[in-house]
A and B are shown apart, each in its own frame.
Chain A
């Protein structure tokens, strides 16, 4: 206590001379403790790699969405009140529409810059979800989700799912013909739910579809409920990134015990802060050059009208693919109807997403690894994980393709039935093929790494020896390169152990133990990794005269 008060006196004594910035900081420190905070964080080290900016793109597009979204709320009327259009857009004059649609027209045609902000908002949403997905793939393929980051992986996953639904509720707000069709689809999907379907639909729409309520309700969900939850998750996500410190790619001098990079102040602050402006600038330019969601072309929503080629925003496309590819199975029994053709896709939709979300937990159970990991994996060194990830992408992509089966059919002059059947079969077969192909490519790359380590880099220089033989000169790798290519560990698969113990008595081995051992064999067995070169092999080859 006495030392503390002594320090305060010192500070008071110097107050007259201290620069203004320092005096403000002193004031804040006395109330917020900012000096201790800054001590730990101001020169915090961040490793650098291009792929680390993918998450930043997501973060910044979220901020852009919030900024532009606040602006849009100033002009948008979330009301389904029936009005007759009398604005400047001639083709719609005299047409009846909801106030929501009319106010979106107002934003687009009468508020100066309104169209720009609307388009920035929509483009940023599209970029946001794409960036989250790609960021998630980076985290997946490099194994960055491993301990201690599993919870942050889940936070990120929740952000992706909530982002999709925030997007959906957002583009439904203008109550135009395209988005209304999407809402109608959602109503049909809700109706397909056994027992509760009709009740949920009535409660959501305040009666029969479309009713007079859903725009106002979606508005609350879109601007308050979901973004509020997302903002909380986002802050938690970032706090954990700070707390865990960033992962880094393997390389000379980089260990599990350190983090190598450049300090927050000034480098990272300038780069990351600057990057916000780069992302915002590019999205603003997109909004200037490329039209998005031109609702005046679609017209106001009417339940008896539809346009051809109706497509949701891209991130909802895979659920659209599920619903389009599903055969129209419908079961009638005991006076009830179960529309599997809609209900099954509705159930598979979360499963597709959950499949990628639970993977880190499956992997950690199979490997039994309880250590912290901060050095990223090179994807090739984990052929099974990389295979699972690409298989999931193939799964997602085939559904995305299915979601646009009409577009694919018309653009490539294919039969829509053929496209749909391709998706139906591809849903089961493509992930498997992708897994096998990816795993083989990974193993091939591992072999190449091994070859490079042992025999050096191919220089492309051909040398003719005195006796006429031609050889290619191989250049030995640098120490850094050798380390990078060999630093990874190659775990041995878990063994179940003998069926009988040393006394010849049958051992009880649980099914789960067996499954785990089998999976472990699949992950790290002989077929799943190429043994990396040992130091002995390297010494043997490099010490001799052979260069082959």
Chain B
């Protein structure tokens, strides 16, 4: 490209001195060993000169298309033959759905063979002679540009938009305001936050219900070294807001040796070494589920925030910003564990109004 003299007068040259230099020595350019030799001559393929090779290609393409047809018939047959619940063992894929396996492979084969046939046809039989085609600059010729500018000026003048400022300003005002209606209409997408994120379903006197057995938890149910999950008494899976309430109220309990509890408030809020913490990670709200009994650390499997349950739920590692909220618990007259109030701070991820 750069060795073709005079091929780009329309480009700003001054910033590219090297190229300008080349233009000075036109004679040198003509003899340059680096000059563009032009398109190399077309090399015929085997199929271009040997009709037998071409015939072979033709048969290959036709074979591929035929395989595709057979594969489609196979697809329809598989659809009819295989029951949907049939599981077969196929090495090395293991136990797979026979229907899915057969449908997918036959469909894949039917499609692939069409593609392979078309590409093979194009590569071996259609002309592979490369040919140049001219490009034209995208930018308009100066006359065209002048004409457009003149037309625009004429149109703008005829509209009188520039002269009638009152029309212009009120129009901009109206156009700017009308989308507000659409914005207002979005208001009922949801309620205002108000205090919703500050409270959970826990109240003083609510018993802790074991998530696994659905029975009230008793202190002796909770063994040292295991993580127990609980929800408030009165929760039912059928409640319309069950999921949203559970997303805040989910609770995890562990039993520690009281002497292992380092945080004084944590000890005060525990019962006989049993401590209850929000299960919802303070990072982005995943439920925490991994417990390391030696260290009393819990780990959120989503982003690996690690909290120390023997030290007020403090963050040990990871992206969480503050400690897990603790729930104060006690034992009621029946000997069941109960909450002694709601969490005193919002559970789950932080938000602007949290404070």
By the criterion CB–CB under 8 Å, are B8 and A371 in contact? yes
Nearest A residue to B118, CB-CB? A274
Task: Report B158-183 CB contacts with A as 1/0, cut-off 8 Å.
Answer: 00000000000000000000000000
Known: A202-B193, A306-B289. A115 touches B100 (CB 8 A): yes
Interface residues in B239-276 (C-beta closer than 8 Å to A): 240-241, 243-244, 246-248, 250
Chain A residues proximal to chain B, CB less than 8 Å: 44-45, 48, 82, 88, 96, 109-110, 112-113, 115-116, 119-120, 148, 181, 184-185, 187-189, 191-199, 201-213, 243-245, 250, 252-263, 266-267, 270-271, 273-285, 287-289, 301-310, 320, 323-330, 332, 335-342, 367-372, 374-375, 405-406, 416-417, 420, 453, 479-480, 482-483, 486-492, 494, 535-536, 538-539, 542
- Does residue B333 face the partner (Cβ distance < 8 Å to A)? no
A156 CB to nearest B CB, Å = 18
Taking a contact as CB atoms under 8 Å apart, the answer to whether A198 and B352 are in contact is yes
CA distance A193 to B247 in the complex (A): 20
| A188-B349, A261-B130 given; A113·B103 CB < 8 A | yes
Most buried by B among A184, A283, A324: A184
Known contacts A266-B122, A271-B122, A342-B284; A487/B2 CB under 8 A: yes
A303 near B301 (CB under 8 angstroms)?
A: no
CA distance A279 to B114 in the complex (A): 11
In the bound complex, how far is the Cα of B353 from the Cα of A196, in angstroms? 10
Is there contact, CB below 8 Å, between B132 and A337? no
- Residues of A near B121 (CB, < 8 A) are 270, 274
> Can you sample 26 A-B contacts with CB below 8 Å?
A116-B103, A181-B302, A188-B284, A188-B348, A199-B192, A212-B240, A245-B135, A257-B135, A262-B128, A280-B111, A280-B115, A281-B111, A283-B108, A284-B108, A288-B102, A305-B289, A306-B302, A324-B318, A332-B355, A337-B351, A371-B11, A479-B35, A479-B37, A538-B33, A538-B34, A539-B33
Q: Is B40 an interface residue (CB 8 A)?
A: yes
Given contacts A250-B1, A270-B121, A341-B320, contact A275 B302 (CB under 8 A): no
> Is A304 a contact partner of B1 (Cβ separation < 8 A)?
no
Give the distance to chain A from B100, nearest Cβ to Cβ, in Å. 5
Residues of B within 8 A of A193 (CB): 352
Residues of A within 8 A of B353 (CB): 198, 335-337
- Which of B15, B97, B126, B241 is in CB contact (< 8 Å) with A270? B126
Within the complex, the shortest CB–CB distance from B43 to chain A, in Å, comes to 13
Contact pick for B114, options A266, A274, A325, CB 8 Å: A274
Contact of B130 with A110 in the complex, beta carbons under 8 Å: no
* Bound: A491/B136 CA distance, A: 24
Q: Kindly state the interface size class of chain B when it binds its partner.
A: 35 or more
Q: Which of B35, B192, B284, B290 contacts A202 (CB 8 A)?
A: B192
B133 to chain A, nearest CB (A): 4
Min CB distance B55 to A, Å, is 19
Inter-subunit contact B302/A288 (CB<8 Å)? no
The 6 closest A-B CB pairs, nearest first, are A288-B104, A188-B284, A274-B118, A281-B112, A330-B321, A253-B39
User: Is the pair B131, A260 in contact by a Cβ cutoff of 8 Å?
Assistant: yes
Q: Name 10 extra pairs, CB < 8 A, besides A252-B40, A285-B109, A341-B320.
A: A113-B99, A184-B285, A192-B350, A198-B351, A204-B189, A260-B131, A301-B243, A304-B279, A339-B321, A374-B135
- Contact status B321-A328, CB under 8 Å: yes
A262 touches B130 (CB 8 A): yes
- List the A side residues contacting B322 at CB < 8 Å: 328, 330
Q: Does A256 lie within 8 Å of B7, measured CB to CB? A: yes
B105 within 8 A of A: yes
**Nearest-Cβ distance from residue A195 to partner chain B, whole angstroms:** 6
B196 to chain A, nearest CB (A): 6
Q: Residues of B contacting A372 with CB < 8 Å? A: 137-138
Contact B131 A96 (CB under 8 A): no
B15 touches A278 (CB 8 A): no
A285 touching B112 by the CB < 8 A rule?
yes
**Nearest CB of A to B254, in Å:** 16
B window 80-131: CB within 8 A of A: 84-85, 93, 97, 99-105, 107-119, 121-123, 126-131
**Complex: how many Å from CA A206 to CA B8?**
61
A188 and B281 alpha carbons, distance in the complex (Å): 10
Task: Tell whether B17 is near chain A: CB-to-CB under 8 Å.
Answer: yes
> Which of A44, A113, A420 has its CB near the most chain B CB atoms (within 10 A)?
A113
Residues of chain A within 8 A of B302, CB atoms compared: 181, 185, 306, 310
B19-36 residues with Cβ-Cβ distance < 8 A to A are 19, 28, 31-36
Q: Would you call B131 and A45 a contact (CB within 8 A)?
A: yes
Are A491 and B135 interface neighbours, CB within 8 A? no
With A115-B97, A303-B243 as known contacts, state yes or no: A337 contacts B38, CB within 8 Å.
no
Q: How far is the CB of A102 from chain B (nearest CB, A)?
A: 15
Chain A residues with CB under 8 Å of B186's CB are 203
* A289 near B243: Cβ-Cβ < 8 Å: no
B186-211 interface bits toward A, Cβ cutoff 8 Å, 1 = contact, 0 = none? 10011111001100000000000001
Check B157 for interface membership: any CB of A closer than 8 A: no
B339 within 8 Å of A (CB atoms) = no
Q: Once the chains bind, are A255 and B108 in contact (CB under 8 Å)?
A: no
Closest A residue by C-beta to B322 = A330
In the complex, are the beta carbons of B36 and A252 less than 8 A apart?
Answer: yes
Q: Is B143 an interface residue (CB 8 A)?
A: no
Are B133 and A259 in touch, CB under 8 angstroms?
Answer: yes
Q: Across the two chains, which residue of chain A brings its CB closest to B36?
A: A483
Residues of A within 8 A of B247 (CB): 184, 208-210, 303-304
Closest to B122 in A: A270
Cα A479 to Cα B279 in complex, Å, equals: 72
> Are A535 and B118 in contact, CB atoms less than 8 angstroms apart?
no
Query: Which residues of the other chain, A, contact B213 by a CB distance below 8 angstroms?
Result: none
